[in-house]
Amino acid sequence: MLTTHCSSVAIEGVVRLLSSPSVYDDDSAEVEVIETHLSYVFLSRLHALKIKKPVHFEFVDFTTIGLRKDACEEEVRLNRRWADDVYYGVFPVTKEMNGQLAFDGAGLPVEWAVSMRRLRKEDSLDLLICERRLTANQEQTLADHLVAKTMQLPQGEISPTDYVAKVRTQQQANTQSLLRHAGNNEHHRILRVHSALANFLWTQREVFETRVANGRVVEGHGDLRPEHIYMESPPQIIDGIEFSRALRTLDILDELCFLEVECERIGGHRLSAAIDEAYQHHFDDRPPKGLVAFYKAYRATVRAKVEALRLSQIQNVVDKALLRDLRNHLVYADFYAQQLGRPWIIVVCGLMGTGKSTLARSIAEAAGADLLQTDVIRKLLIGTCETPASYGGGNYRQLLRQQVYDRLLKDAADALDSGRSVIADGTFLTNSLRQDLFAIARSRMAPILFVRCKTPRVNTISRLQKRNESSESESEARPDLYDQQAAEEEKFNSAYPAVEIPTIDPVHHQVETVRREFKAVVS
């Protein structure tokens, strides 16, 4: 593989060359140049050339000429499955003996370009929808064509477990990228959508795993949007993802939901319904409404992330159209995310040293929920007690303890009101404290589950001794206080939905037990 880097100066020279009408043999008066976050596209009267930018994001690496050449070749190979006579091949931009750049010359390749037949803009699906020119007959033709093409796709080579992990990883990456690049004004919406998507993926894991087991995951297009479809006869579909097999290995429903939500966003609700109906008929598949909403919300965040990345590449310019599209995609993501169920509370409680915080952190990470911990809140409000105190003394005096729980209750209510789920980590020794949290959940129609952590006394004492020797724990609990706290714990009110977890089990087993129990509560 070639490893020569194309510098920013070199790429500018390539852009200037390919922007010249003299490169093309079609009597073009001018060349239209389109820039995306990953590429430059050059449109003459009859032809299109496309080069990759020398960029590196978390999902793609185009930093060497060899990587860009490989991507160009893969683009042609993959997209010929979707388009009949559009992709001509891959050609070099060369540096000639006289130092000048040439397209498909005899010199040293300094860049590679995909060569294509130019498709008519007036035939593009996005324009047809926006201008209300798409006919019912065209809608049905496209829906049937998409399903027929999809039925020919190879099966995705991925296990059910790996597929769920892949979706989770990609969804988390979308969220982190949006938080970095989308602007502070959108953070609440981004976190609300993230919470809903992560919650659904965690609680409904079996739905996704069954899709893989039933052959619903394929190596598909990966970027099926209206602007990539041209209504010729037959329809031509371009610009599938070439740089990542992982991103184009996806549920057929996910692939089609991507197109559906993009059509809906610009007014193509009738086409979206036609695609959905054709899919269900030809595949004999009636997916849960929640799964459809998940995929549509997820795909809207993917587009929002791309637009946020594009905005981050623009220097000293505010692209109002791009900013509008970013916000519009987040609104759609939020709309569908709210169909995934109400935010909820899981209360991880029990005596000191029973593994509450370890379990709470693990659930919060798996479910994408806000983690509220009394030990952390106590240090934020009060600080750390410099000398060991007796039980009920120091930072654990009744008045101070109530302040800590009051803050946790307020933060939990605020999170639920903002649409985010909550993991509450604390002892919750009394039914009064449990009732306060139960009332917050009930008043907001939020599902709630109390997770009671139980460990044999000898194991707990050993844990507390080891914890006291470490400086990493937020807790000030000590072995000599354990029995006093155990005597204070009130019997659980049977009205509260609860599950008892033996925390001597491996943590992943504990999390799975909580997930199954909570899924039953939500159902």
Hey, what amino acid is at 363? I
Find out whether 230 and 123 touch, Cβ atoms under 8 Å: yes
Tokens 């039933």 — which residue? 214
For residue 459, give every residue at least 6 positions away whose Cβ sits within 8 Å of its Cβ, in sequence order, or none: 504
Query: What token pair was written down for 242?
Result: 């070439």
Report residues of the chain scoring pLDDT below 70.
1-9, 315-317, 383-397, 468-478
What's the pLDDT at 6?
47
What's the pLDDT at 312?
85
Q: Which residues pair with 425 in a beta bridge?
A: 348, 373
Hey, what amino acid is at 218? V
Note if the bond before 21 is cis, omega within 30 degrees. Answer: no
What's the pLDDT at 94?
96
**What distance in Å separates the CA atoms of residue 251 and residue 244, rounded to the nearest whole number?**
15
Hey, what amino acid is at 274? A
What's the pLDDT at 386?
53
CATH number of 345-522: 3.40.50.300
323 φ/ψ angles, rounded to the nearest 5 degrees:
-65, -40
Q: What percent of the residues of the chain are helix, what percent strand, and what percent coil, each to the nearest 5? A: 55, 15, 30
What's the pLDDT at 58?
83
Write out pLDDT tens, residues 233-249: 999 999 999 999 999 99
Domain ranges of the chain: 8-118, 125-340, 345-522
What's the pLDDT at 340?
97
pTM: 0.89
What's the pLDDT at 388?
53
What's the pLDDT at 9?
45
CATH 3.30.2010 given to domain 125-340: no
Find out whether 423 and 371 touch, Cβ atoms under 8 Å: yes
**What distance in Å separates the CA atoms of residue 313 and residue 162, rounded to the nearest whole number?**
33
Which 8-state DSSP code applies to residue 159?
-
What's the pLDDT at 395?
47
